[in-house]
Amino acid sequence: MRMSKLVRTGADLLYPFALIFGLYIILHGHLTPGGGFQGGAVVATGAAIVIVAWAYEDVAGMIRKVTMKAQESAGLLLFIGTAALALGLGYAFFTNVLANSGSLFGLSVPFGPNPGELNTAGVIPIMNIAVGIEVWGGLTVILLYLLSGLKKEEGS
Amino acid sequence: MNGFLMTNAPALLIMLPLIGAFVTPFIGRISPRVRSAWVILIMTLTTLTALLLASDVFLNGTQIYVFGAADPDLAIPPDSGGIPIRIIFTVDAMSALMQVIGAITGFAVLLYSISADRIHSGLESFYTLFLLMIAGIMGMVSTGDLFNFFVFLEILSISSAGLIAYRIDGGLAVEAALKYFVLSTIGAMVILIGIGIYYGEYNALNIAVIASRMQFTLLDQIALVLIIAALAMKCGSVPMHFWTPDAYSMAPSSITAMLVVASQASLYGLFRVVFTLYNVTLNAMTVGWIIIILGVLSMVVGVTMAIPQKNVKRLMAYHAISQTGYMLLGVGVGLAVLGNQPLMESFGYIAMEGGIFHIINHAMYKGLLFLTAGAIFFRIGTYNLNKMGGLGHSMKYTMIFFIIGALAIAGIPPLNGFASKLMIYESVFAFNPVLAVIAMVVSILTLASFVKVFHSIFMGPKLPEYETVQEAPVPMLIGMGVLAAIVILFGLFPQSVVNGLIAPAAHALADQSGYIAAVLGGA
């Protein structure tokens, strides 16, 4: 069942904003409120808007279940892989090996009021990104399965 | 390399199944054969890790593993003011025993499942959830942190619910899974409230820290009631047993065998809270009697409900409730005399050992029985006892495995059920003779029920509709054989098993100060 053209265009316009806002929450998870789960849920909301405004059949070609399932597993693998990285380097499981190392996300947190240094906190941003990817995929799959049951209206 | 394995074994125990679970969807796209090989590889590695860790724990005492620390043994960071702030796995002899149960049953069930569930679709998700279940069980029995216990309980509940619904079966399996899921979630929330009470009161989530600060105030009593009620529900004890027959009978048989282990992980949680968190601070006699009464109710109601069942898996599910009663009875008697050293020495420890021995025995023979029921369903497509008959002619090995399992559950020597039940009878008789009499009567009823089942499945002339039925496939027989071999071995050499595995576990469970000292040091 499609909604009116006004709603459909509105949904199209909102989709990139929902995507960018969700990704912003994921990436700034270690600095501001929110994080991987919340950001991933926001991104999945974008998919929900589009599916509701258009019909399931229109969207199914673009947002595919297989891709989203793969994304879910990939996010989880990235998470557990990051945790296992510390084991490979000789630390305990889940040790934050990148913090203050100077490499990726490895700067130390500046002292005093500051606009927020993105390149800090070690493995925490990586795990946020992993959770974000996972929740994006997982919630979208759930939405696709739930909304694929919608029947087309009689006579339309 | 060996040192690396030894140090990191507790972490590997959950890391391996988790990585295995998340890689399975990708590997499953290559071919079903590669996927099976991958899942078996992961499960073998997990089992070996569990055995290695258990041997280490039984030789060298409690092992701890601190997640995210510079050094896995550093429980208390130097700048934390003497409080463990990280997630800690505390593996004592009792945890190690539960890990061994989970690993061996999981391994045997997986071998069986590779062959039994081959014809179904959606197997990537099936094995992903299966490995998540293993990770949940391993985490629950290893963790030394109450909130972490809740997290692993949820992982276990969600993956179990998914697997119970796996064969949709006209919606019946989905209904059973929904019932299980709703009850599990309510139970988990109740546990979370209990954990919240501890956190508000003692400012800690670590089991050892809470145990060392335990005062047994009114709030602690409320938390104890909440946690005992929720975990007794999760382990299927009467009067909170009603989800068990539905969930056990509608799940695929391989998963039912794992659900038995999952229930026992909840039972472990119950014992851990009562013995390690509270120990002598609680009124041991009262709480002990509550657990004994829960056990006796489960034994009697379980077996009497089992007798009229027509569906073989529902019947076995009611027997599982009844057998859980024996474990509660044995350990409950141990709890009732806790703190009274002479009584503890004369029968308390033996009762606890009997109850704990029954946990491992039950996982083996009940798993075996569910697998034989699954093998019969695999060949004839029904669980209805009235439609079976004469299968002894065509399924000889399945029949032998069924006999072994049925005699073990009824407590007939020389099988393992006899060994643990004898320990329970003897020690419970010294505590209260009436309880021992009830336990023996329940055993006799169990035997009667299984004689009936055996007769209606295997005896009699070959039925015309089952003329072409063949023996179960070899991998399924191997899976059942592993469990049957353990049933017989434990029955033939009970003394060495009790001395080597069970007695250290019972003493570790009763020894609260040892558990606290392993985490907090000194004391």
ipTM of the complex: 0.85
Tokens at A2, concatenated: 């499609």
Residues of chain A in contact with residue B11, where contact means CB-CB under 8 angstroms, are 87, 92-93
Which amino acid is residue B95, in one-letter code?
Answer: S
Q: Do B19 and A81 touch (CB under 8 A)?
A: yes
From the list A76, A77, A91, which residue is nearest B70 (CB)? Answer: A91
Q: What is the pLDDT of residues B215-245, one digit of tens each?
A: 888 998 899 999 999 999 998 888 888 889 9
Q: What is the pLDDT of residues B23-56, one digit of tens each?
A: 988 888 888 888 889 999 999 999 999 999 998 8
Which residues does B323 contact at the CB level (< 8 Å), separation at least 6? B302, B358, B362, B366, B409
Residues of chain A in contact with residue B19, where contact means CB-CB under 8 angstroms, are 77, 80-81, 84
pLDDT at B183: 92
- Please check whether residue A135 lies inside any domain of the structure: yes
The C-alpha of A85 sits at a distance from chain B's nearest C-alpha, in angstroms, of 11
Residues A36 and B43: their CA atoms lie apart, in Å, by 30
Q: Do B22 and A69 touch (CB under 8 A)?
A: no
Q: Find the chain A residues whose C-beta atoms sit closer than 8 A to any C-beta of B.
A: 69-70, 73, 76-77, 80-81, 83-84, 86-87, 91-96
Instruction: Tell whether the model's pLDDT for residue B157 goes beyond 90.
Output: yes
The C-alpha of A91 sits at a distance from chain B's nearest C-alpha, in angstroms, of 6
pLDDT at B348: 87
Q: Which residue of B has its CA nearest to A86?
A: B68
pLDDT at A84: 85
DSSP three-state, residue B3:
helix
Instruction: Tell whether the model's pLDDT for residue B280 goes beyond 60.
Output: yes
Q: Which residue of B has its CA nearest to A96?
A: B68
Domain count, chain B: 1
- Mean pLDDT of all residues in B211-217: 86
Report percent pLDDT > 70 for chain B: 99
Q: What is the pLDDT of residues B106-141, one digit of tens each?
A: 999 998 888 887 777 778 889 999 999 999 999 999
Q: What is the pLDDT of residues B498-513, one digit of tens each?
A: 988 899 898 888 888 8
Tokens at B440, concatenated: 């023996």
Mean pLDDT for chain B overall: 88
Contact B247, B179 (CB under 8 A): yes
Residues B369 and B379: their CA atoms lie apart, in Å, by 16
Residues of chain B in contact with residue A81, where contact means CB-CB under 8 angstroms, are 19
- Mean pLDDT of all residues in B453-464: 87
pLDDT at B346: 85
B10 prior amide bond cis, ω within 30: no
- Please check whether residue B18 lies inside any domain of the structure: no
Which residues does A106 contact at the CB level (< 8 Å), separation at least 6? A98, A99, A100, A119, A120, A122
Q: Do B67 and A92 touch (CB under 8 A)?
A: yes
Say which DSSP state A111 is in.
S
Instruction: Tell whether the model's pLDDT for residue A127 goes beyond 80.
Output: yes
Return the exposure string of B278-312: e unless at least 16 CB atoms fall within 10 Å of the residue's CB, then b: bbeebebeebbbbbbebbbbbbbbbbebbeebebb
Give the domain extent around A67.
Answer: 5-147
From the list A80, A87, A95, which residue is nearest B22 (CB)? Answer: A80
From the list A69, A73, A94, which residue is nearest B67 (CB)? Answer: A94
pLDDT at A111: 81
Residues of chain B in contact with residue A92, where contact means CB-CB under 8 angstroms, are 8, 11, 65-72
Which residue's structure tokens are 């992903």?
B128
- Please give the residue that has the higher pLDDT: either B417 or A150: B417
pLDDT at B347: 87
pLDDT at A155: 47
Residues of chain B in contact with residue A82, where contact means CB-CB under 8 angstroms, are none
Mean pLDDT for chain A overall: 83
- Please check whether residue B514 lies inside any domain of the structure: no
Contact A40, A22 (CB under 8 A): yes
pLDDT at B523: 45
DSSP three-state, residue B484:
helix
Instruction: Tell whether the model's pLDDT for residue B72 goes beyond 50.
Output: yes
Q: Do B8 and A93 touch (CB under 8 A)?
A: yes
Residues A101 and A105: their CA atoms lie apart, in Å, by 8
Give the domain extent around B437.
Answer: 283-492
From the list B18, B22, B68, which residue is nearest A92 (CB)? Answer: B68
Q: What is the pLDDT of residues A76-126, one digit of tens each?
A: 989 988 888 888 777 788 888 887 777 777 777 778 788 777 777 888 888
Element (H, E) at B33: helix B32-60
Which residues does B384 contact at the CB level (< 8 Å), separation at least 6? B310, B311, B312
- Mean pLDDT of all residues in B65-93: 80
Report the candidate in B371, B278, B266 with the shortest Cα–Cα distance to residue B324.
B266
- Please check whether residue B445 lies inside any domain of the structure: yes
Element (H, E) at B88: strand B88-91
Highest mean pLDDT among A99-103, A150-154, B466-470: B466-470
Which amino acid is residue B370, in one-letter code?
Answer: F
Give B286's pLDDT tier (boundaries 50, 70, 90). Answer: confident
DSSP three-state, residue B65:
strand
Give B522's pLDDT tier (boundaries 50, 70, 90). Answer: low
Give the best residue of A72, A73, A93 to mutate against chain B (max B CB count within 10 A). A93
Tokens at B273, concatenated: 């809270």
pLDDT at A152: 60
pLDDT at A1: 62
Residues B276 and B90: their CA atoms lie apart, in Å, by 12
pLDDT at B133: 93
pLDDT at A5: 86
Residues of chain B in contact with residue A87, where contact means CB-CB under 8 angstroms, are 8, 11, 15
pLDDT at B1: 55
Residues B100 and B437: their CA atoms lie apart, in Å, by 32
pLDDT at B166: 87
Q: Do B69 and A95 touch (CB under 8 A)?
A: yes
Domain count, chain A: 1
Which residue's structure tokens are 């979370």?
B192
pLDDT at A115: 79
- Please check whether residue B187 lies inside any domain of the structure: no
Give the best residue of B14, B22, B29 to mutate against chain A (max A CB count within 10 A). B22
- Please check whether residue B411 lies inside any domain of the structure: yes
Indicate the pTM of the whole model: 0.91
pLDDT at B268: 92
- Please check whether residue B249 lies inside any domain of the structure: no
B521 backbone dihedrals φ, ψ, rounded to 5°: 80, 160
- Please check whether residue B116 lies inside any domain of the structure: no
- Please check whether residue A156 lies inside any domain of the structure: no
The C-alpha of B261 sits at a distance from chain A's nearest C-alpha, in angstroms, of 25
Residues B185 and B176: their CA atoms lie apart, in Å, by 14
Q: Do B68 and A73 touch (CB under 8 A)?
A: no
Give B195's pLDDT tier (boundaries 50, 70, 90). Answer: very high
- Please check whether residue B404 lies inside any domain of the structure: yes
Instruction: Tell whether the model's pLDDT for residue B319 goes beyond 90.
Output: yes
Q: Do A80 and B69 touch (CB under 8 A)?
A: no
